[in-house]
């Protein structure tokens, strides 16, 4: 009975999220946030005939983890020190490209993970030495609409069990996001909302069912230099509810530096877990993105 209820909930959730994504794809949007076709029927007018220079497109127009620039590649890294003394390093290659218009985008994430245990892990680390392997590949579809004062995006993704050497669980997960960003002169606040759910769980695999929210503010620009334009400093807060573990709430807070230096997008985040249910002891994240 419990399995039947859970399966029914997953089916309802999947169809609901699919309907939301479809609504975002086909709902008309205002002129200030128009999606541009990937194959426009009418060519753009010459630059000298336009009213003024084209607005600059920042590499991070939304939350720091959302890229809406076509054909960009990212190298991502994090080191996470856990409260039990173990640690984890994740290195990830990401690639994004537009689909039929500038609002729709396909993303792929290929991770490589190293774990640092404090006790033997059979059969991967019998002597408690670090061990590494490929992680679970992720595919994501994003539909984002940006404007002068408000950006938002719907994202649907799947994490496939491509891991090796026991560095991640062998379950298959669906991931859904709704990300928003309110902007004003001199600052902004972004909220990333994520729901992850295991849909296929082989024997021995762990189960994931969680909700996560990240808040980032105020995106304060503290550098006034043509080459460092867009560099911003923010405070961040992350909270997670683990539904498969008694609905325990865990959190972490820290600082983030992100923006663009010339044609390279950069992001650096340092966070610390606090309280009895800290997400981790500390975590350092960094990434760099370039356009093609």
**% of the chain residues with pLDDT over 90:** 51
The mean per-residue pLDDT over the stretch 52-76 comes to 55
User: Tokens at residue 7, please?
Assistant: 């399966």
Scan for tokens 């370039």, then name that residue: 290
Residue 12 pLDDT? 41
| pTM beyond 0.85 | no
Residue 114 pLDDT? 98
User: Tokens at residue 92, please?
Assistant: 């990830």
User: Tokens at residue 58, please?
Assistant: 């920042």
More confident residue, 82 or 185: 82
**Strand 131-134 with 138-145, pairing:** unpaired
Residue 24 pLDDT? 42
pLDDT digits 0-9 by tens, 213-226: 999 998 887 766 66
Handedness of CA 83, 84, 85, 91 (dihedral sign): negative
257 pairs with which residues across the strands? 233, 268
Residue 222 pLDDT? 74
More confident residue, 71 or 256: 256
Please check the confidence at residue 268 and state whether its pLDDT lies above 70: yes
Domain positions in the chain? 59-291
What does the mean pLDDT of the chain come to? 81
Please check the confidence at residue 237 and state whether its pLDDT lies above 60: yes
Among the residue ranges 25-39, 115-129, 219-233, 245-259, the one predicted with the least confidence is 25-39
* 5 band by pLDDT with thresholds 50, 70 and 90: very low
More confident residue, 193 or 102: 193
Q: Where are the beta strands (DSSP E) in the chain?
A: 72-81, 87-98, 104-116, 131-134, 138-145, 150-159, 172-184, 187-200, 209-221, 232-242, 248-261, 264-273, 282-291
CATH assignment, 59-291: 2.40.128.130
Residue 69 pLDDT? 65
Residue 117 pLDDT? 97
Question: Interior CA angle at 230 toward 227 and 232, to 5°?
Answer: 125
């Amino acid at each position: 009975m419990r399995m039947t209820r859970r399966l029914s909930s997953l089916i309802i959730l999947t169809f609901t999220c699919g309907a939301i994504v479809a609504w975002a794809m086909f709902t008309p949007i205002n002129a200030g946030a128009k999606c541009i076709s990937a194959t426009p029927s009418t060519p753009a007018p010459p630059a000298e005939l336009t009213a003024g220079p084209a607005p600059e497109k920042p590499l991070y127009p939304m939350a720091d983890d959302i890229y809406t620039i076509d054909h960009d590649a990212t190298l991502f890294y994090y080191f996470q020190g856990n409260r039990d003394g173990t640690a984890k390093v994740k290195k990830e290659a990401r690639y994004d490209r537009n689909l039929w218009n500038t609002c729709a985008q396909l993303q792929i994430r290929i991770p490589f993970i190293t774990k640092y245990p404090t006790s033997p892990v059979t059969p991967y680390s019998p002597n408690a030495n670090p061990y590494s392997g490929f992680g679970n590949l992720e595919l994501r579809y994003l539909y984002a609409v940006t404007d002068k004062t408000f950006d938002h995006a719907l994202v649907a993704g799947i994490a496939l069990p491509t891991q090796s050497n026991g560095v991640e669980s062998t379950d298959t997960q669906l991931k859904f996001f709704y990300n928003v960003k309110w902007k004003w002169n001199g600052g902004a606040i972004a909220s990333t909302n994520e729901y992850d759910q295991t849909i296929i769980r082989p024997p021995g695999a762990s189960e994931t069912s969680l909700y996560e929210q990240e808040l980032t503010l105020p995106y304060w620009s503290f550098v006034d230099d043509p080459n460092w334009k867009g560099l911003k400093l923010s405070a961040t807060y992350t909270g997670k509810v683990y539904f498969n573990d008694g609905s325990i709430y865990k959190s972490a807070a820290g600082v983030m530096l992100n923006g663009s230096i010339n044609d390279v997008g950069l992001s650096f985040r340092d966070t610390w877990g606090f309280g009895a249910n800290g997400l981790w002891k500390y975590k350092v994240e960094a990434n760099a993105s370039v356009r093609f």
